[in-house]
Structure 1
């Protein structure tokens, strides 16, 4: 009986290692989102924080550069959502929402979505202040660093499928059944 248990345990362990290795290989080859300006879970440079306003934000309001790769086959467009789940005292803040980014795109230049809509084929959503542009971090002074999650979603939708002005809930509802894959990048910020 013990011999049979050892053989079964060996087979289960081998199968688990094969599955784990396949999962690691798939993760290594899956969608990637990064920035030449900061690494995942690093502090965001102050220039990407919000500028001025009633909260005396200390940044320059410049949108960070982003690059992505290894997107799923059949991707026709992308959506991106940047949010802070601790913002607004835990009620979440959407800092940027953009959808219908053409499937041929693979990056945003630094400042590309600062101040004016990105243009091109992009259908801009609305951020915390109701604008279709990058709205940088501006956490309460003295807070621990908050986490700003950049999520890129690959979709099978054509670049003109969605209407302008969607908020986060509207975008997520519109993408139901059309998302092919996603990846995230986290930047932290405190002041």
Structure 2
């Protein structure tokens, strides 16, 4: 198994345990901004003038959803950096209540509030995408996990953290898929 496959398998197992749903046949999350296993462009990195590791423009990558499992009512999307802020990692984005009719997010759309998702609470206490602010040197991995659920947006409270969302989705996940990006700067 490739390193990318191993990281995604570990991430999905951490999300759902052995009882959870893994990638359903044909359920895919893809991006025209980056290829699976390859680096995010610098424009997708975080933008915070007080942090020298935030070297980007905070433009969320384009994402496309295809072949959702039958019976999907909504999606949840998590972006997680397992190497950031040891030992807990960094949650860069927590969103849910994404209607099953949504098939894509254009570049930059996740960086601002939208009626296409309910913003949860990232590690930075934000309800929107905040890109990598990776320390110089070795790249970090950014795991994009899309979860198909049998829940409507109204079934989930606003402002949940990643852990609260995972608990709320227990028994409601119909499948999951994902992408892994890397990011580093000199």
TM-score, reference length from structure 2? 0.83
Check conservation: 2:79, 2:145, Cα contact below 8 A: yes
Matched-pair contact (CA < 8 Å) for 1:44–1:188: yes
CA deviation after TM superposition for structure 1 residue 89, in Å? 3.0
Give me the whole-angstrom Cα distance separating, in 1, the residues matched to 2:71 and 2:25: 16
Compute the TM-score of the two structures, normalised by the length of structure 1: 0.81
Deviation of 1:29 after TM superposition, in Å, equals: 4.3
The one of 57, 62, 65 aligned to 1:60: 57
| 1:124 equivalent in alignment to 2:97 | no
Are 1:149 and 2:143 counterparts? yes
Match of residue 36 from structure 2 = 40
Alignment of 1:6-155 (within 5 A): 29-56=25-52, 57-114=54-111, 116-120=112-116, 122-142=117-137, 144-155=138-149
Structure 2 Cα separation of the partners of residues 51 and 189 of structure 1: 14
Q: 8 Å contact 1:101–1:123 — kept in the other structure? A: yes
Tell me, yes or no, if the aligned pair for 1:123 and 1:162 is still in contact at 8 Å: no
Distance in 2 separating the partners of 1:163 and 1:123: 9
Q: CA RMSD in A?
A: 1.4
Segments of structure 2 that go 5 or more residues without pairing to the other structure are 1-22
Tell me the equivalent position of 2:3: none
Distance in 1 of aligned mates of 2:98 and 2:107: 16
Question: Are the equivalent residues in 2 in contact too, given 1:31–1:183 (CA < 8 A)?
Answer: yes
User: Which one has more relative contact order, counting CA pairs under 8 Å at least 6 apart?
Assistant: 2
SS at match of 1:136: coil
Task: Quote how far apart the aligned CAs of 1:119 are.
Answer: 2.3
Count of residues in correspondence between the two structures: 162
CA contact (8 A) 2:27 2:176 kept: yes
SS of match in other structure, 2:65: strand
Whether the aligned pair in 2 keeps the contact of 1:124 and 1:164 (CA below 8 Å) is yes
1:4 is matched with: none
